[in-house]
Structure 1
């Protein structure tokens, strides 16, 4: 059964969400796992691809767009496309589907924006409906 983790960030800035995503992807790789980052569309995927290249001077996150680098440990995709591995699914899109549940671990990054709050609440309910008890990581407490 999948494990779902929600990381609740203290602010509404989309850049804080992508910065946190980069740290999560780095951590996933550090544990020897593969990650699939699900985004809303091609434009967001290309922007995230560049952000991962620029992440930190002292770190390297081997990654690529799913359709162009199918063997990369971190893959970025959108729509119905999914990678071969089923290690970690990092959801940056506003939806989750039953396909999401096929991954061992699901990570959601929540920022204080109405559309993202509503979408992640809906995803939380989907996971609960399928017998997963999501774990909450309230990053608002650690930032004050």
Structure 2
């Protein structure tokens, strides 16, 4: 069963959310841990895509934006997508969408990022209940 972690940011700013996403992606990449970033906001996904490419001055973090199952490559470590695809390496899901991930059982760890935005808080409360009702152990990290 997956390990669920909620990361609660002290602000409603999307820039803070993106900053945390970049840190989590960098940690996953450095640990060679496959990560799947799930979005429902394509503009935010495109912002994350650009930010990941430009986050290091001395190198870059290779990643793939999935728009179809044909884009999947078993060698890729980092995926960004607005849809849920079955990917070969299912270690970490960073759920940045407003919906409960239908493929939650396929991952070892799931991260949820919450801002102080009222919508984000309400969505995360509902999602927390869903995970709890399914028997997941949940950790909360107040940042």
Regarding TM over 0.5, the answer is yes
The structural deviation recorded for 1:118 is 1.0
TM-score, normalisation: structure 2: 0.88
Aligned partner of 1:30 in structure 2 is 30
CA deviation vs aligned residue, 1:75-96 (integer Å, no higher than 9, x gap): 0011343422211000111111
The structural deviation recorded for 1:66 is 1.7
The structural deviation recorded for 1:128 is 0.7
Aligned partner of 1:70 in structure 2 is 72
Q: Does 1:6 align with 2:6?
A: yes
TM-score, normalisation: structure 1: 0.87
After alignment, is 69-78 or 2-11 more displaced?
69-78
Matches within 5 A, 1:1-144: 1-67=1-67, 69-71=71-73, 72-139=76-143
The structural deviation recorded for 1:51 is 1.2
Give the number of aligned pairs. 139
C-alpha separation between the residues in 1 aligned to 2:58 and 2:16? 20
Confirm or deny: 8 A CA contact 1:89 1:103 kept in the other structure.
yes
Relative to structure 1, is the Cα distance of residues 37 and 65 closer, same or farther in structure 2, using a 3 angstrom cutoff? same
Confirm or deny: 8 A CA contact 1:8 1:111 kept in the other structure.
yes
Relative to structure 1, is the Cα distance of residues 105 and 39 closer, same or farther in structure 2, using a 3 angstrom cutoff? same
SS at match of 1:49: helix
CA deviation vs aligned residue, 1:83-122 (integer Å, no higher than 9, x gap): 2221100011111133123211000111100111111111
The structural deviation recorded for 1:24 is 0.4
Q: Where does structure 2 lack aligned partners over 5 or more consecutive residues? A: none
